[in-house]
Amino acid sequence: MSDLLELDGVSRRFGGLLAVDNVSFRLKGEGITALVGPNGAGKTTCFNLIAGAFPPTQGSIRFRGKLISGFPAENICRLGIGRTFQVVRPMRDMTVIENAMVGAFSWTRKVSEARDAAREALDLVGLGPKADAAISKLTLPDRKMLETAKALSTRPRLLLLDEVMAGLRPPEAAAVVAVLRRLAEKGLSILLVEHVMRIVMEAAEHVIVLHHGAKIAEGTPQYIVSHPEVIAGYLGEGFRA
């Protein structure tokens, strides 16, 4: 049984900048993995490479054993990788539930089925009561959750979440972590970009650290926070878990 996702020597160059530098890692079939690192470490670029927003300059990405690097974003989504955007991108002229329905049309053409799936996804992230609201009525945390619901309605095997908890107050973030745990228990694999170490410690079973585009460490949260290179490059000398 191969791993769900395999990155093998993946690099991406933007002009003179090597945004992602020879990164390799594997994701198991389930559980929550966090991708951490300072600003500009290449986390979001890494996400975009997996999700097919642009192809890698070098290296290969496999999903369920199939080579997907270079595929367009819509095909990668249809293979089972859902993603959110760091800067939320709701469809402004559509209601909350209509937004969530779009993803469902990647696997059904029945509007009623899509509506049911969207409602389910909205209930999961706690947006059920606001299903018929206009996007302009949503707060930022709501919009972040809508991004998650949109990605969930595509029925992914792997969910890429780009800083969905940024800007949330601690109790809100805790609620989201609980949702993610529930999803992971249902057999979903989640790859999470996150800044707040406390959330990462709480949510993730596995952590990958990027620095200047390269992977500098990988392991359990406990291992990561005691890793000398991670402390030097990212957490800071004063950090003690």
> In angstroms, what is the minimal distance from the CB of 205 to another protein?
26
Q: Which is nearer to another protein, 159 or 230 (CB)?
A: 159
- Cβ nearer to another protein, comparing 38 with 105: 105
Bridge-based pairing of strands 189-193 and 158-162 is parallel
Q: What is the CA radius of gyration of the chain?
A: 18
Residue 217 beta carbon to another protein: minimum distance, rounded to whole angstroms: 29
CB distance 155 to 117 below 8 Å: yes
Cα–Cα distance for residue pair 188/195, rounded to 1 Å:
22
CB neighbourhood size of 46 (10 A) = 28
- Match 């993946």 to its residue by tokens: 10
| CB 45, min distance to another protein, A | 15
> Counting beta carbons within 10 angstroms of the beta carbon of residue 120, is it exposed (0 to 12), middle (13 to 18) or buried (19 or more)?
middle
Smallest gap from residue 104 Cβ to another protein (A) = 9
Cα–Cα dist 133/92, whole Å: 11
Residue number with CB closer to another protein (146 or 199): 146
Measured from the CB of residue 172, what is the shortest distance to another protein in angstroms?
Answer: 23
The residue (of 8 and 120) whose beta carbon lies closer to another protein is 120
Extract the tokens encoding 114. 């899509």
Between residues 90 and 233, which has the closer beta carbon with respect to another protein? 90
Closest approach of another protein to the CB of residue 99, in Å: 8
d(CA 39, CA 4): 27
Residues that bind another protein (CB under 8 A): 51, 53, 72-74, 77-78, 83, 85, 89, 91-94, 98-99, 101-103, 105-112, 114-116, 150-151, 153-154
DSSP string, 61-90: EEETTEE-TT--HHHHHHHTEEE--SS---
Pairing outcome for strands 206-211 and 189-193: unpaired
Q: Which is nearer to another protein, 28 or 137 (CB)?
A: 137
